[in-house]
């Protein structure tokens, strides 16, 4: 069984900590990114999400958002699934979309990465 709560590190050396995982699957924590749009130093930002509740078997899916409130006018949405590999290591496989604020509807095309 994969457990989302705890400390996670990605391949860009960013850290995510899920510190509160509710019985209903809701969770919250913080994300320390090493990658910024502005090229600045690492910053901590809040995250909130939900995990699909499964029985004792299976690999849960989840989604969460990170609000980059202190250094960027952007929000990122992540979706993924938690797995356990053959060696017993828990792995989060995710995809993300980052939405950056733009000044007009005409610039909307360049706002999402």
CATH number at residue 55: 2.40.128.30
Domain assignment of residue 98, yes or no: yes
Domain count for the chain, please give it: 1
Using CA atoms, how far apart are residues 33 and 86, in angstroms rounded to an integer? 28
Using CA atoms, how far apart are residues 86 and 97, in angstroms rounded to an integer? 29
pLDDT tens digits, one per residue of 38-81: 566 667 889 999 998 766 667 889 999 998 876 678 899 999 99
Q: What is the mean pLDDT of residues 2-23?
A: 87
**The pLDDT of residue 42:** 65
Quote the DSSP letter at residue 112.
B
**The pLDDT of residue 60:** 86
Domain assignment of residue 48, yes or no: yes
Domain assignment of residue 67, yes or no: yes
Q: Is the pTM of this model over 0.85?
A: no
Higher pLDDT, 54 or 33: 33
Domain assignment of residue 1, yes or no: no
Counting every residue written for the chain, the total comes to: 113
Q: Is 107 helix (H, G, I), strand (E, B) or coil?
A: helix
pLDDT of 84 higher than 80 = yes
Burial class (CB in 10 A: 0-12, 13-18, 19+), 24: exposed
**The pLDDT of residue 2:** 80
Q: What is the mean pLDDT of residues 92-100?
A: 92
pLDDT band at 21 (very low <50, low <70, confident <90, very high): confident
| Spatial CA neighbour of 45 closest among 19, 79, 75, 5 | 75
Structural domain boundaries enclosing 103: 6-110
């Amino acid at each position: 069984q994969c457990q989302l709560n705890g400390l996670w590190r990605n391949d860009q050396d960013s850290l995510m900590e899920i510190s509160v995982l509710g019985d209903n699957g809701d969770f919250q924590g913080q994300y320390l990114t090493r990658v910024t749009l502005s090229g600045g130093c690492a910053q901590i930002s809040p995250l909130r999400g939900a995990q699909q509740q499964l029985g004792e078997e299976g690999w849960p899916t989840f989604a969460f958002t990170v609000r980059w409130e202190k250094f960027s006018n952007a929000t990122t949405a992540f979706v993924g699934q938690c797995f356990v590999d053959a060696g017993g290591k828990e792995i989060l496989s995710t995809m993300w979309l980052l939405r950056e604020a733009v000044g007009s509807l005409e610039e909307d095309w360049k706002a999402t990465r």
